[in-house]
Amino acid sequence: MGSRYRGVRNLSAIEVKNLTVRYDGYVAIEDVSITIDHPSLVVVMGPNGAGKTTFLKALLGLIPYNGTVSIFGKSPRKVRDRLGYLPQRERINLNVPLKVRDVVLLPLISRKTGIKRYDVKRAKEALEAVGMVDFWDSRFDSLSGGQQQRVLFARTIVTDPDILILDEPFSAADVRTKLALIDLLHKLKREKTVIIVLHDINPLVECTDRVILLNRRVLAYGTVAEVITEDNLEKLYGTKIPVIRQGPVCYVVGGDRHA
């Protein structure tokens, strides 16, 4: 399955206009308008309850919203197969005795043809990319939280989606896993659009193209240098957070305090 958008540059991957999401009348995000280029890496930051997960779910067309979301010029549901989603701290039903290979093969299984040999190859490659291929035959529920997260990451990339939507993908990862996933993201962002919710931007600061500061509304949207300022972070989190600048990059001191 080749990507229709591979090698295509300077295309708008995502156009969001006046996006508002309500839960039973409660406004979780309001009037969000943003254009995201393809390929690029966009980090979404904001305090707990800011509407980050809600924003991602709207991009995926998983929840009702007002306004427009257009992905490669189409509605999210029409391009669902081009989107890879890693939900926040996902729980797979642990009562089902799934093996690691089943978890990664699941998105590839076609009702008509079942599992093909090529699917097995792709699943193995995806697990290889996150360093989990040795666990091919292990029970998913026997893995640690961080190992499960790596397998779920493999499941997200196995279909070779054009857009990756990742909700706090490092939350259960140890330092080594985090570094391996960051390395992988560096590679993936060359040809994909990656939208990633992070509480700590520091590990990705050098490969981030744009940052969205979200707290119900968009407080700022721009490059790391434009957006990560002490003023903006104070507005976002309601507390002083020092920022260290080193040339074109800047690091948030105590950036993982909300993780």
Strand partners, 166: 86, 196
Tell me the one-letter amino acid at 151. Answer: V
For Mg ion, the closer CB: 20 or 53: 53
| 154 to 193: interface string for Mg ion, x by CB under 5 A | ----------------------------------------
| Least CB distance to ligand ATP at residue 63 (A) | 8
| Least CB distance to ligand ATP at residue 94 (A) | 22
Q: Considering only residues 88 through 127, tell me which ones interact with Mg ion, judged by CB under 5 A.
A: 88
CB atoms within 10 A of CB 58: 24
Binding residues (CB under 6 A) for ligand ATP: these are 23, 26, 28, 46, 48-54, 88
The residue whose Cβ lies closest to Mg ion is 53
The whole-angstrom distance between residue 91's C-alpha and the CA centroid of its chain comes to 16
**28 contacts which partner out of ligand ATP, Mg ion, none, CB within 5 to 8 A by kind?**
ligand ATP
Q: Terminus-to-terminus CA distance in the chain, angstroms?
A: 36
Name which position in 53, 70, 138, 202 contacts Mg ion (CB under 5 A): 53
| Least CB distance to ligand ATP at residue 111 (A) | 30
**12 contacts which partner out of Mg ion, ligand ATP, none, CB within 5 to 8 A by kind?**
none
**50 contacts which partner out of Mg ion, ligand ATP, none, CB within 5 to 8 A by kind?**
ligand ATP
Distance CA 35, CA 218 (A): 12
| Least CB distance to ligand ATP at residue 101 (A) | 30
Site residues (CB under 5 A) for Mg ion? 52-53, 88
